[in-house]
Every structure is written in C-alpha cells, then in structure tokens.
Amino acid sequence: MDGACIVKEITGREVPVVLDPTLLLTKSEWEQQIVNSNVKAPYILCYFLSHNIKHRTWVKRLSKIKGYKIIVLPFVTEDFYWGDGIEFKVGPQEFLGLIEGAEIVCTDSYHGVLFSLIFNKEFYSFLRFKDNDKLNQNSRIFNLLENLNIKSRIVDTNADDIYEDIDWLEINNKIEQRKAASIDFLVHALR
C-alpha cells in the first residue's frame, strides 16, 4: 500500500497492490518443498533479523507461560547465546520445515510472517525498524496484517499481552480472495 502511494506520488498513476508472490502458491505446494525439522519437543521458533533485547525477553516470558522450548534461527551474533536450541544449518527448505513444525513463530521478518500465515501458525510479529529509520520496512507487515484484520499480532513489548486467537478460516478466505484478484491482474498485465 505504501509502495503504491509512492508510485502515485512520483508518477501520478494509480497502481494496484497485489499479494506477495509467496502467497500465490498453495499451502500444499509449499509443503512439497519442506525438509522436516529434527526438533521433537513443542517449540517457539524465533527468527529475528534485528538485535532487540525486548523482543527476546518477551519470547522468554511466552516460553515460560506456554512451556515450549525456544528454537533460534540465528541472524545476529547475540542469537547464539539465548534460547534452548539453535538451528544454523538452515536453507530454504529447512526454514519452511521449522516454521511448519513450530507451535508458535516469533519474528520481525516479513517472510517469517508470510510463511506463518501460509502454514496457519500462531505467530507474533515484532517491529524491526524505528519509525524514523530511513530503511524502515515495517509498512509491509503493517499493510499485510491490516488487510487481513489481524494487526493485533504485532507485539507491543511495553503493553500487557492480550492477543486474540486467529480465525484461520477467515484469514485463509481473505488470502484466497486477494490471491484470485492478484492472479487476475497478473494474467491481464502479461497479455
């Protein structure tokens, strides 16, 4: 949505907003690519692209409440020093398997959120960028979750933890509607 506004501001032209290409494939198509995780106990998968101690502290609290292990996909050096397990030999197929096998996904990654949606995983999204950061990409997550009416999945580490359950039937229906419109646009645009 923000990208469409930028294009309009620069060119004066309205442009449609389509789904991210990852959502154009079905869950079963993605499942064919999975390499299953070796983690056997119920776990919270943490995939953070930033180093924010508040995010990790929040996840530790969630782990105590739920009784799940914390499995970390390390991205920053500090990720090697927290959690109950580290998965560092992870390619795209293993990444999918870790998300699919998780009870909960905690991430500040746009694609971490996308694949949580695809696999219908309980997830919590954290903001990676400050509002005044020139590289701020938070709008991708904001827009996606706002369009699906689940913006409440964005964690405020300073607030009380009250999160509604995700109505996956409703979410999947909304994604399917947007998917059909996106494919229709692409088919017509490529003629």
Provide the CATH number for the domain around residue 99. Answer: 3.40.50
- What residues make up the domain containing 168? 2-189
Show the beta-strand stretches assigned E in the chain: 43-47, 69-72, 85-86, 104-107, 122-125
**Residue-wise pLDDT tens digits, 74-129:** 998 989 999 999 998 899 999 999 999 999 999 999 999 999 999 999 999 988 75
For the segment 137-143, the average pLDDT, to the nearest whole number, is 75
Its pTM stands at 0.88
Which pair of tokens denotes residue 152? 């409440």
Q: Is the pLDDT of residue 148 over 60?
A: yes
CA distances in angstroms from 94 to 38, 70, 71, listed in the order given:
10, 17, 13
Which pair of tokens denotes residue 178? 């947007």
Higher pLDDT, 9 or 75: 75
- d(CA 102, CA 182) in angstroms, rounded, equals 29
For the segment 149-166, the average pLDDT, to the nearest whole number, is 80
Among candidate residues 101, 119, 118, 116, the one with its CA nearest the CA of residue 154: 116
- Compute φ and ψ for 154, nearest 5 degrees: -80, 120
- Compute φ and ψ for 85, nearest 5 degrees: -165, 150
Number of domains into which the chain is organized: 1
